[in-house]
Copies of this chain bind each other. A is one copy, B any other.
């Protein structure tokens, strides 16, 4: 099992399902690309769910983003031509492989990068100025909005990532995340059962971000 993580990420050869479009399938826990690998392609997520993570000089790991359907993965590698993060499938997934120099025009690339910059500013705001419950609320609202945009329920969903993933993403510890879930449930803002979340009071959730907690 541990071996799975050691396989070179190119082990699964992309397959040509439609003329001119490469598709790659990944099993849960498989790595789409790893730190240090050359960045030759971007990946548009067809289905599934990913996280990206990075480690610092002391080996501390940080989850940087979560990616779902229609999201574009791989922008991290454009500055240096090498990937600076690992991308890991959190469930069986399928991505469209797009050569960096290919169909994605230069202008679109800039637009995607600009969006990524904007998203990251939001993450920095969260990490820099929100306390633990606020961070979790912000995370849930963001998830809810993204799912909604994809046509899924905005009030009820399954978390694809572990508490540890959420904690790392939010700059907290997993126990704290767990406590905050329970806390929000006690306050009747949400209903949680493991990875299943239902937003029961969206107004109150949004109020948390406006007025603090």
Find A120's partner among B60, B121, B211 (CB 8 Å cutoff): B121
A51-84 contacts to B, CB under 8 A, are: 54, 56-58, 60-62, 64, 75-76, 78-80, 84
Number of copies: 2
Find A114's partner among B79, B111, B115 (CB 8 Å cutoff): B79
Interface of A is mostly: helix
B121 touches A85 (CB 8 A): yes
A114 touches B78 (CB 8 A): yes
Smallest CB gap from A168: residue in B? B128
On chain A, which size bracket covers the interface? Answer: 35 or more
A103-122 contacts to B, CB under 8 A, are: 106-107, 109-111, 113-118, 120-121
A16 to chain B, nearest CB (A): 28
Confirm or deny: A127 has a beta carbon within 8 angstroms of a beta carbon on chain B: yes
Confirm or deny: A210 has a beta carbon within 8 angstroms of a beta carbon on chain B: yes
B54 touches A121 (CB 8 A): yes
A118 touches B168 (CB 8 A): no
* Cα-based distance from A161 to B37 in the complex (angstroms): 38
B79 touches A115 (CB 8 A): yes
A115 to chain B, nearest CB (A): 5
A127 to chain B, nearest CB (A): 4
- Point out the residues of chain B lying under 8 angstroms from A111, CB to CB: 78-79
Q: Shortest 3 CB-CB distances between A and B: which pairs?
A: A113-B113, A127-B127, A78-B114
